[in-house]
Every structure is written in structure tokens, then in C-alpha cells.
Amino acid sequence: MERESARALSPEVIMNLTTRSTENLPTLSQVFVHSMEGKTAIVTGGATGLGYCVVNRLAEAGARVVIASRSKEKGEKAEREFREKGYQVCFCQTDVSKVEDCYQAVEFAEKQYGQVDILVANAATWSMYSYLDMPEEEFDRILNTDLKGEYFMGQAAARSMVRKKIPGKIIFISSVARKGSDAAGVAMMTHYNAAKGAVSSMTIGVAKELKQYGINVNCVAPGGMLSLGSITNTAKLGELYGQEVLAERAKYSEGTPLAMNPDVVALVVFGMCTSMSDFMFGETVDVNGGALLSWQKQPWTYTMEGGKPGATD
């Protein structure tokens, strides 16, 4: 045994192990370009914003994608636009706040394409209310979509994967708001903070249960993005609290990173759908442009030309 252990640790064995670690690997093209071919994905909230960009990337890579969206008009428009690109997509009208709709979306995907390999549980909404003003119906509306919707959409997809023995991928979508970063200087998103924080915690628990079935569960937490929702929800805030709060929000949000195209986040979500995430379980990946960092505003170096000079006596 000692001789075998010594031989196992010999330089020759170690060198061979190093060499073998790069042999017979899938190419990067296979991982990121062709890995979706023959797979079926469901993207909730896939008709606009981040979801639309995720659908675009998955379909571009060859996946068959079900766009699950509450809006019939927006869903049919998205389906039409993607089909004009030659992508395999279908729209399924889905309100994820209703558990039966979550299961119907999975059944629809199975009927259309045979199975579900990937779920991106992206559908969400948000609003802004003072904690002291929060109506119960508004709290319920946000939690039912952003937390309950992801929970049961994940359950429906997972049951399909287990039944068909699919080693699938489930990606939940949280938010930088899970760490308390919401509207700088204004806040007023306690219900959204609660929902998105819970999604990250939920991811850990679901991942622990589903790993035994070969299902890989992780989460992506975006920061601010320029989207239809960000425009319309801000307008609603002004209706409730007047123009002063909009001015306050604009003043304090100047330094907050904003993704001008949600595709920068969608690329990370896409990566999590590939074998890139095979050794990740229950993780939440933050993609927020450094929203929680205190950025240095100017260079301070006395050794580099162009930097601030050092102290002088």
C-alpha cells in the first residue's frame, strides 16, 4: 500500500494526470455554440426584457424554446419575431402566479417538443410603495409572481425531468435587491426585497433535493436593466407619490450601474444553462455591474504617470 501511494504521488503520475485533464474534452464550440441543439427550454417572462434576451440566446444556440408569458399580445409578437429569425419557438400563455398555469406550460412543452431540459424561471414584476403604505393586495401580487411563481414553475419542470430521467438545468432569477440594493436614496421596495431574497434561499434548498436526480439548480441575480418594466413601473411611482419622489430617485440613482441592454445579463443566464455550471449547485451569481461596490472616483498613484502625486512636505 505504501509503495502504491508513493507511486501515485510520483512526478510522472502527476505529470500524466495534468496532461490527461485536457484530453477528450468537449470544445468550447460544443459547450457554448452547439450544446443546446436538441434541447427544450422554457423561459417564463420570455416576451420582454431579460426573458426575451434569454430566449434569443438559447434559440440562437439551437434550443427549442417555449415562451411562457402572461400577455397574449406580447407573447405572440415575440414568437413571430423569433420565427422570422428561423428559431424554433412557441408561445404558451402563462400566469405563473397560478400553479395550474405552471403545470400547463410544462405540459405544453412536452406536447410540442417531447421533454423539458432547461427552465429559466424569469417571470417577475415589481412596484414601489412605502413600507407604511403597503397594501396587502400589492404585497400578495408581487410575492405570488416573484416567489410563488418561481417555486411552482421549478416544481413543475423538475417533476417532468425526474419522470423522464432528464439531467436538466433549472435557473431561478433573483435580483441585487436581495441584498437590499434597490432604488438608491428612496428604497420603498420591501416586498420585492423579500421575494428576491427568498428566491436565492429557495435555490439552495431546491438544489440540495434535486442533485440526486442529476438536476442542476442555480440562480442569477441581475442588477438594474433598461427594460419595458423599468419604464412603466417608474411612471406608476410618480402617480402615487408625485414628481418629487421621481426627482429624488433620479438624483440618487446617477451612480447606480444600469445595463442598457439586458443581453449582458442574458449571456450569463445562457452560460448557466450549459455544462459550464455542471459543478455549481445552489449558487446565486450576481450580475449587477458592481452595484454594491463603492467605486474609486479618480486615480491615486504616485508611481504612474497621470496619477495623483503623493504627499509632499
Catalytic residues: 192
Using CA atoms, how far residue 85 sits from 40, 52, 59, 93, 99, in Å, is: 18, 14, 10, 21, 32
DSSP secondary structure, 17-72, as one string: HHHHTTSSPPPHHHHHTSTTTT-EEEEETTTSHHHHHHHHHHHHTT-EEEEEES-H
Q: Which residues 6+ apart lie within 8 Å of 56 measured at CB?
A: 82, 87, 263, 266
Q: Alpha carbon 5 to chain centroid distance?
A: 45
Residue 135 has which C-alpha cell? 397594501
Residue 184 has which C-alpha cell? 438608491
